[in-house]
């Protein structure tokens, strides 16, 4: 236990970040068991350490542990939780829980056996927490942490304090919101930088030259390690998954031809569907389906995107500007929790508000949605909003 407590104190002493992610105040920290899910590199560890620091509880009352620590080579998670509880601990923070084979069984026993012990644990976004070996559905509340929104990027990188807005407010009051933001900051140059290296919080501790190599390491770790914890995924599949991701990165967004993908990657059709689902769960891809269609694991998506624009810069030499626009729009909408599908006309149908968005450059016309009452034009490289036209960067203020 002493070595775990020492590690805990070292991390707290070296925690520099004072700014909190948007999710932090939305979490009900009074809950008995909380799961933090999200893509690798989005800041789950920092969020937990910030909570410990803010609690200001006695040193022995809270403990941060990571399941990657060598301590767990010979000790069980339950053993550590029991010893911690016996010593008076009441707040246990467990990082990378999916790296521990018996995580669901022992979390269930910990939940049931220590009534006043509160547990917060982080897990890979690819992990289905409710389908572990033991049923945690009635015991755990799950929060999903995406990467930085454009608004958060400005807050972290330029110390701004802009508010976030729900989509209906952006659509109905866009002119006033854009005017207020533009008075305080020249937005477009910052937006271009965000698209290239602003989505993952670790850009704050990396130079621009270091960022993409680090992101490539994250991608490899997700495929080689994190996906291995999905039921039915085998580590030897990682080479094929990387081959598939490489093929997709060269052509996204596109309407997939599964037979063609199968030939190019030498992966069976059924496995293509499976790997696409895995890559979406790991937040390396976004799969867009036609509006009104049900979605199943073995159903071909109507369009495939990389998850975010930073991945495009990491995996492609010169990402297409039109691709970046659509990728950014879908990422920010989905990360904000909206249900997005493909309409018959336009680029994205946002089911929550029954609106259709057409994405384009500054010279884009509204011809495709001219006869659609609920259609809006979202244009890149503009810093004004007028009528039913919004600047693309404004979607970065959804969360």
For the purposes of burial, counting CB atoms within 10 Å of the CB of 306, is it exposed (0-12), middle (13-18) or buried (19 or more)? buried
In which order are the strands placed within the sheet that holds 375-379? 340-341, 348-350, 355-360, 375-379, 389-391
- Give the model confidence (pLDDT) of 203-238 as tens digits: 888 887 899 999 999 999 999 888 887 766 777 789
Is 165 in contact with 177 (CB distance < 8 Å)?
Answer: yes
Q: What is the pLDDT of residue 310?
A: 97
CA of residue 65 relative to chain centroid, distance: 22
Q: What is the pLDDT of residue 244?
A: 92
Q: What is the pLDDT of residue 115?
A: 92
Q: What is the pLDDT of residue 292?
A: 72
User: What percent of the chain clears pLDDT 70, i.e. is strictly above it?
Assistant: 95
For residue 305, what pLDDT band results from cuts at 50, 70 and 90? very high
Q: What is the largest CA-CA distance in the chain?
A: 68
Query: Which sequence spans correspond to the domains of the chain?
Result: 2-145, 151-397
- Give the model confidence (pLDDT) of 350-370 as tens digits: 999 999 999 999 999 999 999
pLDDT higher than threshold 90 for residue 129:
no
CATH superfamily of 2-145: P-loop containing nucleotide triphosphate hydrolases (3.40.50.300)
Is 285 in contact with 223 (CB distance < 8 Å)?
Answer: no
Domain 151-397 has CATH 1.10.10.10: yes
- Coil/strand/helix, residue 248: helix
> What is the distance between the alpha carbons of residues 270 and 254, in angstroms, rounded to a whole number?
19
Q: What is the mean pLDDT of the chain?
A: 92
Question: DSSP assignment of 162-200, as one string?
Answer: PPP--HHHHHHHHHHHHHHHHHH--HHHHHHHHHHH-SS
Summarize the confidence of residues 84-100 as an average pLDDT. Answer: 95
In which order are the strands placed within the sheet that holds 62-66? 62-66, 91-95, 118-124, 33-38, 141-145
Look at the chain and count its residues: 399
pLDDT higher than threshold 90 for residue 16:
no
Pick the closest to residue 122 from 105, 138, 99 (CA basis). 99
pTM greater than 0.85 (yes/no): yes
Summarize the confidence of residues 179-199 as an average pLDDT. Answer: 97
Q: How far is CA 380 from CA 1, 162, 168, 189, 323, in A?
A: 54, 20, 20, 12, 12
Pick the closest to residue 122 from 92, 80, 94, 143 (CA basis). 94
């Amino acid at each position: 236990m002493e070595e775990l407590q020492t590690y805990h104190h070292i991390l707290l002493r070296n925690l520099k970040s004072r700014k909190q992610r948007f999710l932090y105040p939305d979490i009900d920290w009074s809950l008995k068991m909380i799961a933090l899910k999200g893509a690798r590199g989005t800041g789950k560890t920092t969020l937990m350490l910030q909570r410990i620091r803010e609690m200001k509880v006695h040193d022995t009352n809270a403990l941060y542990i990571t399941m990657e620590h060598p301590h767990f080579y010979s000790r069980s998670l339950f053993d550590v939780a029991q010893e911690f509880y016996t010593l008076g601990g009441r707040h246990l923070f467990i990082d990378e829980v999916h790296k521990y084979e018996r995580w669901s069984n022992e979390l269930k026993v910990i939940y049931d056996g220590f009534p006043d012990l509160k547990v917060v644990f982080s897990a890979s976004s690819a992990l289905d927490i409710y389908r572990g070996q033991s049923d945690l559905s009635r015991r755990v509340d799950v929060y999903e942490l995406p990467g930085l929104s454009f608004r958060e990027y400005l807050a972290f990188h330029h110390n701004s304090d802009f508010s976030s807005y729900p989509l209906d407010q952006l659509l109905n009051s866009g002119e006033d919101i854009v005017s207020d933001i533009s008075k305080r900051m020249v937005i477009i140059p910052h937006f271009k930088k965000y698209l290239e290296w602003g989505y993952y919080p670790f850009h704050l501790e990396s130079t621009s030259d270091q960022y993409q190599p680090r992101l490539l390491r994250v991608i490899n770790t997700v495929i080689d390690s994190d996906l291995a914890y999905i039921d039915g995924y085998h580590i030897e599949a990682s080479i094929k998954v990387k081959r598939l991701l490489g093929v997709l990165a060269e052509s996204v967004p596109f309407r997939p031809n599964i037979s063609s993908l199968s030939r190019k990657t030498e992966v069976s059709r059924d496995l293509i569907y499976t790997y696409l689902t895995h890559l979406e769960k790991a937040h390396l891809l976004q799969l867009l389906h036609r509006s009104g269609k049900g979605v199943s694991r073995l159903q071909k998506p109507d369009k495939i995107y990389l998850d975010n624009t930073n991945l495009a810069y990491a995996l492609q030499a010169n990402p297409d500007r039109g691709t970046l626009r659509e990728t950014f729009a879908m990422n920010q909408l989905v990360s904000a929790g909206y249900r997005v599908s493909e309409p018959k006309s336009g680029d994205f149908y946002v089911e929550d508000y029954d609106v259709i968005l057409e994405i384009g450059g500054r010279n884009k016309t509204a011809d495709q949605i001219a006869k659609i009452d609920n259609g809006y034009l979202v244009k890149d490289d503009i810093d004004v909003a007028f009528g039913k036209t919004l600047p693309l960067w404004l979607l970065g203020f959804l969360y």
